[in-house]
Chains A and B, each alone.
Chain A
Amino acid sequence: MLLGYIKPAKSIPLHPICDIRVLDKFIREAKDATDSTKRCEEACALPGNFTLPKTNVNYREWETKDTGTKAEEVQTGLKLLALAVQKAQNVTVNSNMLHLIERSYSNLRSITQMVRSFSTPDTLNRERELQTTFNTRSLRTIFHVYLSFLQGKVRLFFLHTEACNLATS
């Protein structure tokens, strides 16, 4: 009798990692960070080189890639970004910038976790070529890349991964 009152729940519950709205929230925060670094010149100059992933996406090329390649690109890029942000965090003295950097770093780690949850394990260890990276010395560039990477590759990867199709809103 009790079971009769219980509605059968969905077989696959709504996974919070696959919710695109979470990614959108991260993207918005990255956008805020990018906007705040638009006018900084001197404060955004960082010592040393930072390796960042390339964020350019060509629809035609993107469609030809398979999911594994996509996942690998996303994960590699996220890793690079995390390293760069972390490095910038260590170097940055400005408190405002530091706040942004810290938040970006935490978001990156969350996104990395999300991507790892629906990625095949064999792509994790593959290192991509350096062609997909470039170097910069500006914090603004780091934020731009971070934003663009999230908006582009990560989002496209999120939207068209089979595991995350249910979460698309």
Chain B
Amino acid sequence: MIHPCCQWKIGSYLIVLSAAAIFEARSLNLEDKMLLVTAAGSEPLNCFTQTLEDFLCFWSERNGSHTNDYRLFYQDLQGDDGEKKECPLSIERIGSNMSRYICTFPTRDVSLFAPLEIEVSLNSSVIMSRQDIYINYVVILDPPSNVTVQRTEKPNQLHVQWSAPQLKHLENSIMYEVSISSVGSSVQKVETIKKTECIFAKLKLQTEYLVSVRAKPDGVSIDGYWTIWSKPVSAMTGSDLDPLILSLSLALIMIAMLLFLTMLMTRRRVIKEKIWPLVPSPENMFDGLFTVYRGNFQEWLGRSSAHILWNLQFFSSEEPATALEIMSEIKTFPPDLAKVKHQEIFLDEQSFLVSRSDPFKLQGGPLMDEGKQPAGAQVAPNNREVYVVLNQNFLPGGTSLFDAHRLTPGSNDVSDEEMPLQLLFESPRTSSRWDRSPAGEEDSFRDASMSRQSSVSRQSSLSSGIEQGSPVTPAHFDYAKYGPGGQLLYLSPRGFKLERNRNHPYLHMSDSGVSADFSIMDFQSRRNTADTGIYTNLCRREDLPECLQASNSESLTNHLRSNLS
């Protein structure tokens, strides 16, 4: 429970504080005005009006003892009675040792456009006075409010707008001053106008500006002091880039890029070929190398018609090589011969007559030992193949080839050139000696070999010559086909020149170093001498009597097929 005395004190303090707060807010503006007026005036006694409906006079002095003795009197010379009236003074402290005396005139006594007389007296003596004060000449307004700064269409312009200070009846008698300055610089541009808006042009781009406005009566019917500057408002000027131009240029750039990309995509292949060119393929220079021969260059050289170009170094006085094709692999020796040693000879089933230690040799194969004549060698019943011996080293010891090719009908003579092939064919004479009977084959074989020793030696010499690699060129080629039993089965339809003028039925084949492929046809066992059932096309040649007696002839069969180049 608070004491009543204290309650009253507390209440009064609260009231005073709140009043002071309100008064403080209001007086701040007034204080500024008083300061302004004091600064602008030279008289100790200053008077002004704020709205043309109020009027106050004030002076300040040091604290003294005569605080309550001052009196202020005023007189309106055009007033009704013209007497002096007293104005109640109020005192306020400013600073530590200064006091201000303020007289606020009653509103009904505020007479504009008429001279006033004011006196301040102390103890009935006038210490201060003012004569012919026209209230309409001491107007100090509030600063302009609601200052707004906006950008215009042009980027280097700013539009400033504000509200006029409150003034009854004479709003259009106010003039304004607008100050604009860029942030950080001291240069100010001031314009004095009477309207409440203004546009500043030719400003710097992209800079921040501060704008302030103050007001003053224009002086025609009212006059006064400049108001304080309004609070600065900042604004930024625009940039040079017009957004429309910027967007259009961006769109143009996008379209150009799209076009370029599209062109790039369509010409991708061409560009890739230029940047990363393909390795050229040699296919068109080598006809058929990759398609037919699967890249086998050696094969292609051998078969292709274009091989002449590549083989120019071989293109000499030599004849072109002939290729010999073997029709079938030799599996067995001709029965007349094989009877002796076929088991040894034909152990291999290679295309060439090669055995381990047999005298029969083809192209450098091991010599067959004709001396070895296994007794009781029998032709395998299923060995039907004809073989061709191209090696002249075939010794006539056990060779029945001499006999074989002597069985060739009509071929009595043989040229020296055709010696190499003499081994291949039997002479018909030889064949006559052959005994087709299985039992007598061996004997006949021996007989044939013995009778030919002399020719063998001659042939061997020739063969050796041949072996040295001297090439012999056959003009043509013929062949005869004999059955296993030695009967003449077939003669080649071509002109068999060898037969006509030769003593020995020789067929000559050139040896150019190219391996000759030849095929050997099967021939039957010679047991069946009269049987020619398996053979067809027997003896096409009509001019040869032996052909007519093909069934009766006994000869080894040789079938040779060759391709003359």
Question: B53, B110, B136: which contacts A152 (Cβ < 8 A)?
Answer: B136
Question: A28, A58, A131, A160: which contacts B112 (Cβ < 8 A)?
Answer: A58
Which residues of A come within 8 Å of B, CB atoms? 24, 27-28, 54-61, 131, 134, 144, 148-149, 151-153, 155-156, 159-160, 168-169
5 A-B pairs with the lowest CB-CB distances in the bound complex, closest first: A152-B113, A56-B114, A56-B111, A151-B221, A148-B113
Q: How far does the alpha carbon of A155 sit from the alpha carbon of B136 in the complex, in Å?
A: 13
B108 in contact with A60 (CB, 8 Å): yes
A residues near B78, Cβ cutoff 8 Å = 54-56, 134
Say yes or no: A152-B221 contact (C-beta < 8 A), given A131-B80, A134-B78: yes
B112 in contact with A59 (CB, 8 Å): yes
B220 in contact with A56 (CB, 8 Å): no
B220 in contact with A156 (CB, 8 Å): no
In residues 22-40 of chain B, which contact A (Cβ within 8 Å)? Answer: none
Min distance, Cβ B45 to any Cβ of chain A, angstroms: 21
Min distance, Cβ A41 to any Cβ of chain B, angstroms: 15
Q: For the complex, is B401 an interface residue (Cβ under 8 Å from A)?
A: no
B residues near A56, Cβ cutoff 8 Å = 76, 78-79, 111-114
Q: For the complex, is B52 an interface residue (Cβ under 8 Å from A)?
A: yes
Flag B136-176 by CB within 8 Å of A: 1 or 0 each. Answer: 10000000000000000000000000000000111010000
Say yes or no: A151-B111 contact (C-beta < 8 A), given A59-B53, A159-B169, A168-B172: no
Min distance, Cβ A27 to any Cβ of chain B, angstroms: 6
A144 in contact with B108 (CB, 8 Å): no
A169 in contact with B111 (CB, 8 Å): no
Q: For the complex, is B535 an interface residue (Cβ under 8 Å from A)?
A: no
A152 in contact with B112 (CB, 8 Å): yes
Q: How far does the alpha carbon of A58 sit from the alpha carbon of B115 in the complex, in Å?
A: 13
Q: How far does the alpha carbon of A59 sit from the alpha carbon of B110 in the complex, in Å?
A: 8
Min distance, Cβ A62 to any Cβ of chain B, angstroms: 8
B221 in contact with A155 (CB, 8 Å): yes
Q: How far does the alpha carbon of A148 sit from the alpha carbon of B136 in the complex, in Å?
A: 10
Q: How far does the alpha carbon of A134 sit from the alpha carbon of B82 in the complex, in Å?
A: 11
Which residues of B come within 8 Å of A, CB atoms? 52-53, 76-80, 107-108, 110-115, 134, 136, 168-170, 172, 220-222
B residues near A28, Cβ cutoff 8 Å = 220
Min distance, Cβ B175 to any Cβ of chain A, angstroms: 13
A residues near B111, Cβ cutoff 8 Å = 56-58
Q: Find the A residue at minimum CB distance from B116.
A: A56
Q: Find the A residue at minimum CB distance from B194.
A: A169
B residues near A57, Cβ cutoff 8 Å = 111-114
Q: Is the interface of B mostly helix, strand, loop or mixed?
A: loop
B residues near A160, Cβ cutoff 8 Å = 169
A residues near B110, Cβ cutoff 8 Å = 58-59
- A-B contacts, 7 of them at CB < 8 A, read A57-B112, A57-B114, A152-B113, A152-B114, A155-B221, A156-B169, A160-B169
A60 in contact with B53 (CB, 8 Å): yes
Say yes or no: A58-B220 contact (C-beta < 8 A), given A149-B113, A159-B169: no
B53 in contact with A169 (CB, 8 Å): no
Question: B115, B136, B168: which contacts A151 (Cβ < 8 A)?
Answer: B136
A58 in contact with B136 (CB, 8 Å): no
B113 in contact with A27 (CB, 8 Å): no
Min distance, Cβ B320 to any Cβ of chain A, angstroms: 113
B220 in contact with A24 (CB, 8 Å): yes
A55 in contact with B114 (CB, 8 Å): yes
Min distance, Cβ A139 to any Cβ of chain B, angstroms: 15
Q: How far does the alpha carbon of A153 sit from the alpha carbon of B169 in the complex, in Å?
A: 11
Min distance, Cβ A83 to any Cβ of chain B, angstroms: 18
B52 in contact with A59 (CB, 8 Å): yes
A residues near B221, Cβ cutoff 8 Å = 27, 151-152, 155
Min distance, Cβ A128 to any Cβ of chain B, angstroms: 14
Given contacts A134-B78, A155-B221, 7 further A-B contacts (CB under 8 A): A28-B220, A58-B108, A60-B53, A61-B108, A151-B220, A152-B113, A152-B221
Q: How far does the alpha carbon of A80 sit from the alpha carbon of B125 in the complex, in Å?
A: 39
Min distance, Cβ B81 to any Cβ of chain A, angstroms: 10
B residues near A134, Cβ cutoff 8 Å = 77-78
Q: How far does the alpha carbon of A169 sit from the alpha carbon of B171 in the complex, in Å?
A: 11
Say yes or no: A59-B169 contact (C-beta < 8 A), given A54-B78, A131-B80: yes
A residues near B76, Cβ cutoff 8 Å = 56
B residues near A148, Cβ cutoff 8 Å = 113-115, 134
A153 in contact with B113 (CB, 8 Å): yes
Q: How far does the alpha carbon of A32 sit from the alpha carbon of B84 in the complex, in Å?
A: 31
B residues near A27, Cβ cutoff 8 Å = 220-221
Q: Find the B residue at minimum CB distance from A59.
A: B53
B residues near A151, Cβ cutoff 8 Å = 113, 136, 220-222
B residues near A54, Cβ cutoff 8 Å = 78, 114
Q: Find the A residue at minimum CB distance from B110.
A: A58
Question: A60, A144, A149, A153: which contacts B107 (Cβ < 8 A)?
Answer: A60
B residues near A58, Cβ cutoff 8 Å = 108, 110-112
